[in-house]
Amino acid sequence: MPGRRRRSRAGGGGSSRRRFLYLLGGAAVSGALISSSGAFSTSRLSRPVDVQSASDPNALLGLSIPPFVDAGQSGQELVTVTNNASTPLTVSVELPGASGTVSPASRTIQPEESRAFTVTLSADAAGGENALTFDVTATAGSSTKISLSRSLGVRNFLRNLEDRTTNNNAFFYLSYRLQNVDTFQSFEVVVRNLDRGWIPTRTYTSTDVEHVFRIPESGSDGGTAGSTYEFEMRVYDADGLALQRVLTDVADGNNPQDNDAIGGGPNDPVVVGFTITDNEQYTNAHYVVDYEVGNTSSLQEVRVTFDNRSNSWADETETSTDTPTGTVTYDQGGVGGDTYDITVEVVNENGIVTDSLTKTDVADGADP
């Protein structure tokens, strides 16, 4: 059967820095414009015009833009628009071709009034300096139209929690990847069990832009299945606290539904595909998995997990460093007829799972 592809199995900080832009300087009919490059120009508003840029402090339309927004976050300030004109302006803001939405899409702003537009970006939104472009259009009836585009940076903070709780014992793997965080200094996660008072609060730190923490570092938290854990994650740059996220998870062996997919970069290892040979006989399972992987320059290992849906004692994970192709096998007695989820994952040199592919098979001697 077809496989399920995932890049991995397993809220935001702000800044007081602002960029202020003022558009359409002068009177309502004729205005002086100073472009971003410092060049001087004039515009006459007897008919609709498109204005590309200006920075006149007496402008009719003022924009306050933060230096960046964060992928995967909702309700972030995108731009605050000030109406310096003597007449109401209808202002709309759009994201052309971006992985996100603006709220509200349009609003009427009264004279001397400022209104904010917010943005919600998907976790896989492209990051980098000036990565997010938005269009602003302001109109006053049919005689005045101001249109322009502006850009700002996008920071990426991807995190993935793998809940390995089993037999009433809890432990986790927390992976993260940071991109486009200027002057990054360190990552910190504070882990608390909100229901079991005997479990200590733990703090883990790293100075790497991507890392995997085992929580706890060894062993497991006994008797904590079903309890709630809180993971408070903080990113520090040269100015102090730059980003903060809080994740909660019930220790039940199931991963959070809002896990980010860490992977998809140009140099990340990928799973090209794999085949399963089912040699089950006399209720004994015997699987042969032949895989192919790509982008292997940063590959640490290939993991193949055999997950028995009925009997967790039959679960097993095999690893291999053979590339670009390789073979792993699995043998287990007394599981004939059981359903298996078989997953091939690729792990990069920092321990991050960057891609995976899952197929399902019944151990019955017939290949999927």
Q: Give the per-residue SS3 of 283-320.
A: CEEEEEEEEEEECHHHEEEEEEEEEECCCHHHCEEEEE
Report the pLDDT value the prediction gives residue 146, as an integer from 0 to 100.
Answer: 86
pLDDT at 44 over 60: no
Instruction: Report, as an integer, the average pLDDT of 171-193.
Output: 96
Instruction: Report, as an integer, the average pLDDT of 3-21.
Output: 46
Mean pLDDT, the chain, rounded, equals 85
Instruction: Report, as an integer, the average pLDDT of 13-39.
Output: 37
pLDDT at 177 over 90: yes
285 and 226 in a common domain = no
How far, in Å, CA of 320 to CA of 346, rounded? 10
Distances (CA, A) of 241 to 14, 152, 246, 366: 9, 20, 14, 55
Task: Decide which of 10 and 341 is more confident.
Answer: 341
- Does 301 fall in a domain? yes
What digits encode the pLDDT tens for the residues 108-159?
999 999 999 999 998 878 888 899 999 999 998 877 788 889 999 999 999 9
- Specify the range with the lowest mean pLDDT, choosing from 18-27, 239-248, 284-293: 18-27
What digits encode the pLDDT tens for the residues 260-277?
888 888 899 999 999 999
179 and 139 in a common domain = no
* Residue 120 neighbours by CB under 8 Å, 6+ apart: 73, 74, 75, 76, 100, 101, 103
- Does 318 fall in a domain? yes
- Does 260 fall in a domain? no
199 and 234 in a common domain = yes
- Does 256 fall in a domain? no
CATH code, domain with 289? 2.60.40.10
How far, in Å, CA of 105 to CA of 275, rounded? 48
Report the pLDDT value the prediction gives residue 3, as an integer from 0 to 100.
Answer: 61
Structure tokens at 145: 């139209």
The percentage of the chain sitting over the pLDDT mark of 90, rounded to a whole number, equals 73
Residue 240 burial (CB < 10 Å; 0-12/13-18/19+)?
exposed
Q: Which amino acid is located at 261 in the chain?
A: A
- Specify the range with the lowest mean pLDDT, choosing from 139-153, 192-206, 349-363: 139-153
Instruction: Label residue 4 by pLDDT band (50, 70, 90).
Output: low
Quote the domain boundaries for residue 304. Answer: 265-362
Report the pLDDT value the prediction gives residue 142, as an integer from 0 to 100.
Answer: 79
Structure tokens at 313: 């004692």
Instruction: Report, as an integer, the average pLDDT of 77-93.
Output: 94
177 and 142 in a common domain = no
- Does 2 fall in a domain? no
- Does 13 fall in a domain? no
Most confident of 30-39, 91-100, 148-157: 148-157
26 and 135 in a common domain = yes
How far, in Å, CA of 314 to CA of 368, rounded? 20
Instruction: Report, as an integer, the average pLDDT of 235-246.
Output: 94
Report the pLDDT value the prediction gives residue 5, as an integer from 0 to 100.
Answer: 55
Considering all CA atoms of the chain, what is the largest pairwise distance in Å, rounded to the nearest integer? 89
- Specify the range with the lowest mean pLDDT, choosing from 132-146, 332-346, 350-364: 132-146
Decide which of 154, 173, 192 is a domain's last residue: 154
Number of domains forming the structure of the chain: 3
Whole-prediction pTM: 0.75
Instruction: Label residue 33 by pLDDT band (50, 70, 90).
Output: very low
291 and 243 in a common domain = no
Task: Decide which of 363 and 124 is more confident.
Answer: 363
170 and 125 in a common domain = no
316 and 198 in a common domain = no
CB atoms within 10 A of CB 324: 12
Decide which of 89, 119, 154 is a domain's last residue: 154
- Specify the range with the lowest mean pLDDT, choosing from 73-87, 141-155, 282-296: 141-155
